[in-house]
């Protein structure tokens, strides 16, 4: 095992592209990246695609896009190259075949001709593989090959003694080696299993620390035995704690589920498309099993890089606090400069309104609305519902319930009078600015002896079609004088119909 203080670290994120990247995988990649950047080392992306039956090209694109969204850049990988290319396992087949043959030559592996039907029979009887071909004579091996049997290569695990894996956050993990029942290293099609490929690649790529989920703990003794068989120094193992679902009752599922009446998705792309900021997700996932200082929950990337140590990771499972992600995302939204938030909102609002993003980006109305809704949204996708009224033509605003236009403790006639006086103000105030409008409206409310809240209700509903909206006078300025007057005229017509 390498010394725990090694610098700089070389770490790898090595996903199998058989499904879309989930939050647990992204957390692993994040911890890898943080440690590489903390130590001035390298973060390597390696694609473990030896399971060709389940390989999904869309999954590969999805995981790379997800990593880039979070800002996790890799120093070596399939698309950027590096001194240990190729970084896709299916392209490294000859390497694995070479090392498997080397193990056979050293008496540490052997060819096994057991058929799938024979293995199925053992499984049906509840028995493990019985090492039946471990000590074949050359003549017996030749006879099996003459039958046309295909062979896999199995590891000849030691039959006695114990093996200890040193985990940086869990301490030593010791098992009796006889429990490792000669696993397959090289399949009959010449492709390696995960166990051979991961050991060979981690050694050849100079990986110093292996950060992976705790579900790999049962495989760790085998990997240690393989490192020992090759005579290679094993990297430092860090088995990360499992992330539980938001209820805390079980491991996070790799499927969408409903938790406390709300749909929860484990897939990263749902958060990318759902209006979450990468900075918020970065901060959120960094808190899953690691703590900045035990008190601060909000910190910058730079601060996390400076402080991150693998030995500070807790081995305890933690429930994913779904609601806290919304809160944290809202914090980051409020910290955004309006111009940056505007750019981030454009694609969401454009999609919600059904217009071209390029057209909306040039529309001054959204520019003015962004500061008005910045304090009110937790995710970017919530913005459309708060601003759509500003983009609806006046003649398309419908008042299905004209009673909403009636202020508290006012009659329809009194509310109509309010709208009439306010329309006169809107048509005459100069300049048409927020502070001037507000002063004029407050003065008119006092003259009519109506509480300001009740006085403004008919106007608010007239302009936006809803009782709750962004600040009224700012909204009026967004619409402009002419559009505001058109909407107020429509509202007065609706009220006259119910007098």
**Residue 280 in this model has a pLDDT that exceeds 50:** yes
140-150 tens-digit pLDDT: 999 999 999 99
pLDDT at site 250 = 76
Please state, rounded to an integer, the average pLDDT across all residues of the chain.
93
Q: How far apart are the first and last CA of the chain?
A: 85
CA distance 73 to 17: 18
**Residue 317 in this model has a pLDDT that exceeds 80:** yes
Go through the chain and tell me how many residues it has.
Answer: 499
Residue 43: helix, strand or coil by DSSP?
strand
394 secondary structure, DSSP code: G
Tokens 């109305």 found at: 365
- Is residue 154 within 8 Å of residue 104, measured between CB atoms? no
CA distance 12 to 395: 59
| Pairing between β-strand 162-167 and β-strand 152-155 as defined by DSSP bridges | unpaired
Q: What is the CATH number of domain 394-496?
A: 1.10.10.350
Alpha helices in 336-433 (DSSP H): 338-353, 357-361, 364-373, 383-387, 412-428
CA distance 23 to 21: 7
209-244 tens-digit pLDDT: 999 999 999 999 999 999 999 999 999 999 999 999
82-100 tens-digit pLDDT: 999 999 999 999 999 999 9
R_g over Cα of the chain: 32
**Residue 313 in this model has a pLDDT that exceeds 80:** yes
Q: Tell me the mean pLDDT in the region 250-277.
A: 83
CATH topology of domain 257-333: 1.10.1160
pLDDT at site 499 = 65
Residue of 249, 254, 324, 408 marked active site: 254
CA distance 156 to 131: 9
- Which tokens in the block code for residue 337? 């400069």
DSSP string, 58-99: HHHHHHHHHHHHHT---SBBTTTB-TT---BGGGGHHHHHHH
CA distance 187 to 152: 5
Active site residue 256: no
Strands in 178-279 per DSSP E: 184-186, 209-213, 236-240, 243-244, 257-259, 262-264
Measure CA 241 to chain center: 17
């Amino acid at each position: 095992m390498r010394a725990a203080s090694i610098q700089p670290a070389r770490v790898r994120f090595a996903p199998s592209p058989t499904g879309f990247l989930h939050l647990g995988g992204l957390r692993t990649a994040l911890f890898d990246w943080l440690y590489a950047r903390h130590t001035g080392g390298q973060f390597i992306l390696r694609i473990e695609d030896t399971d060709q039956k389940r390989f999904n090209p869309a999954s590969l694109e999805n995981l790379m896009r997800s990593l880039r969204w979070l800002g996790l850049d890799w120093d070596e990988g399939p698309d950027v190259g590096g001194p240990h290319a190729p970084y896709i396992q299916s392209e490294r087949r000859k390497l694995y075949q070479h090392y498997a043959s080397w193990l056979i030559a050293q008496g540490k592996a052997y060819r096994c001709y057991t058929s799938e039907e024979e293995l199925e029979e053992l499984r049906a009887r509840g028995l493990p593989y019985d090492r039946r071909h471990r000590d074949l004579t050359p003549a017996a091996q030749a006879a099996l090959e003459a039958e046309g049997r295909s062979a896999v290569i199995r590891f000849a695990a030691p039959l006695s003694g114990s093996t200890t894996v040193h985990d940086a956050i869990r301490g030593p993990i010791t098992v009796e080696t006889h429990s490792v029942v000669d696993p397959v290293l090289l399949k009959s099609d010449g492709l390696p299993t995960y166990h051979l490929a991961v050991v060979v690649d981690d050694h050849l790529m100079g990986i110093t620390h292996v950060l992976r989920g705790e579900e790999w703990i049962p495989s760790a003794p085998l990997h240690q035995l393989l490192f020992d068989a090759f005579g290679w120094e094993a990297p430092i193992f860090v088995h990360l704690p499992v992330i539980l679902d938001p209820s805390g009752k079980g491991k996070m599922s790799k499927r969408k589920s409903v938790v406390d009446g709300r749909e929860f998705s484990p897939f990263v792309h749902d958060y990318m498309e759902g209006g979450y900021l990468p900075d918020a997700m970065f901060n959120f996932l960094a808190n899953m099993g690691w703590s900045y200082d035990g008190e601060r929950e909000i910190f910058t990337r730079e601060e996390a890089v400076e402080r991150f140590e693998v030995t500070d990771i807790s081995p305890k499972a933690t429930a994913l606090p779904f609601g806290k992600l919304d809160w944290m995302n809202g914090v980051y939204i409020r910290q955004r400069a309006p111009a940056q938030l505007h750019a981030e909102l454009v694609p969401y609002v454009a999609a919600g309104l059904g217009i071209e993003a390029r057209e909306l980006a040039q529309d001054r109305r959204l520019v003015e609305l962004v500061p008005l809704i910045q304090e009110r949204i937790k995710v970017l996708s919530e913005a459309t519902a708060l601003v759509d009224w500003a983009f609806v033509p006046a003649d398309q605003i419908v008042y299905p319930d004209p009673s909403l236009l009636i202020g508290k403790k006012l009659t329809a006639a009194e509310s109509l009078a309010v709208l009439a006086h306010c329309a006169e103000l809107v048509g005459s105030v100069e300049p048409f600015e927020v502070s001037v409008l507000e002063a004029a409206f407050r003065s008119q409310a006092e003259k009519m002896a109506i509480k300001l809240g009740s006085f403004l209700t008919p106007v608010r509903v007239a302009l936006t079609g809803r009782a709750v909206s962004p600040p009224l006078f700012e909204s009026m300025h967004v619409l402009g004088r002419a559009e505001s007057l058109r909407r107020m005229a429509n509202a007065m017509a609706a009220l006259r119909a119910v007098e």
